Amino acid sequence: MARTGFKEQWRWLSWVLMAIVGIAALIVGASADGGPQSDGERMSELASTIRCPQCRGQSIAESNVAIAREIRGDIRNRISAGESDDDIRQVYIDRYGRSIVLNPDSGGFTGLVWIVPVLAAGLATAAIALAFQRWRIEASSIAIAADEDHELVAKLRRERR
């Protein structure tokens, strides 16, 4: 019994220790790592956000058709020429239209695809929170037994005996 008491008492220490080790590891782990390392990898990353104009449902990075290879080469050249990711994407938007990028715009009507799920999640959470609120009120109105209730129970018990 004394041992459990001891254990209980020091449990908080375990959690503190845990937090220290965890935060230290996170700091070490998260400090390094920048963006893509080489031009080639930057190209792959950019290519995966551009749709292949000839194939169905694949990005430039995934596809092997001629046009995809050509665009990959072009992106590589533009990267070495020092153009930014957004500049390069714009080139393809100008050439093929908005649907060439796989990432929908965050503004205008298209922006709804980003906002609506967040709103829906928020509303659903609020609805559940409200339900809990109501349940709590219900519970508190039911749970409190008045003196007369106790008396009633005691009386019934006596009678049953």
Partner 1 sequence: MNVAIGDAGVVVAFVASIVASVTLLVALRNDDARLRRTGVQVAWLVVIGAIVGFVALERALITRDFTVKYVFDNGSHRTPPIYNFATAWASLEGSILLWGLVLAGYVGVVLTKFRSRIADPLVTWALVVVLLVTAFFFALMLGPADPFISVELPPGFVDGPGPNPLLQNNVLMAVHPPMLYLGYVGFTIPFAFAIAALITGRVGEGWLVETRRWTLFAWGFLTLGIVLGSWWSYDVLGWGGYWGWDPVENASFLPWLTGTAYLHSVMIQERRGMLRVWNLSLLCATFSLTILGTFITRSGVLESVHAFSESSIGPLFLAFFGVIAAVSIGLIGWRGDRLRAPGRIDSPISREGSFLANNLLFAVFAFVILLGTVFPLIVEAVQDERISVGVPYFERMTMPVGMVMLFLMAVAPVLPWRKASGELLRKRLEWPAWFAVASLVLAVLVGARGLTPLIAFTLAGFAAGAALRQIVLATRRNGWRGLVGRTNGGMIVHLGVIIVAIAFAASNSYLRQTEVTLTTGEAIEFADMSFQYEGIEIQDLAEKRITSALVVVNGEELRPAINQFFSGQSIGTPDTLGGFTRDTQIALIALPEDDDQVVIRITTQPLIAWLWIGGVLMAVGTVFSAFPHRLHRRPTDPVSAAPGAVGSPPHPDADHLKNAGDPADPIEPVPVPSP
Nearest to 76 by CA among 30, 131, 117, 39: 39
DSSP labels, 135-159: HHHHHHHHH---HHHHHHHHHHHHH
Instruction: Name the segment binding partner 1 (CB under 8 A); options: 84-92, 117-125, 144-152, 153-161.
Output: 117-125
C-alpha to C-alpha distance for 1 and 5, rounded to whole angstroms: 6
Q: Which residues contact residue 103 at a Cβ distance below 8 angstroms, ignoring those fewer than 6 apart?
A: 49
Question: Which of 16, 41, 145, 152 is close enough to bind partner 1 by CB under 8 A?
Answer: 41
Residues from 132 through 161 that contact partner 1 (CB under 8 A): 132, 135, 138-139
Contact present, 100 and 58 (Cβ < 8 Å): no
Q: How far is the CB of 141 from partner 1 (least distance, A)?
A: 11
Q: How far is the CB of 77 from partner 1 (least distance, A)?
A: 13
- What tokens does 121 get? 């999640």
Which x/- pattern over 72-111 shows residues binding partner 1 (rule: CB under 8 A)?
Answer: x------------------------xxxxxxxxx---xx-
If one asks whether residue 56 binds partner 1 (CB under 8 A), the answer comes out as: yes
Cα torsion 84, 86, 87, 92: sign: positive
Q: Which residues form the interface with partner 1 (CB under 8 A)? A: 11, 14-15, 18, 21-22, 25-26, 28-30, 32-33, 38, 40-41, 44, 48-49, 51, 55-59, 61-62, 64, 66, 69, 72, 97-105, 109-110, 113-114, 116-117, 120-121, 124-125, 128, 131-132, 135, 138-139
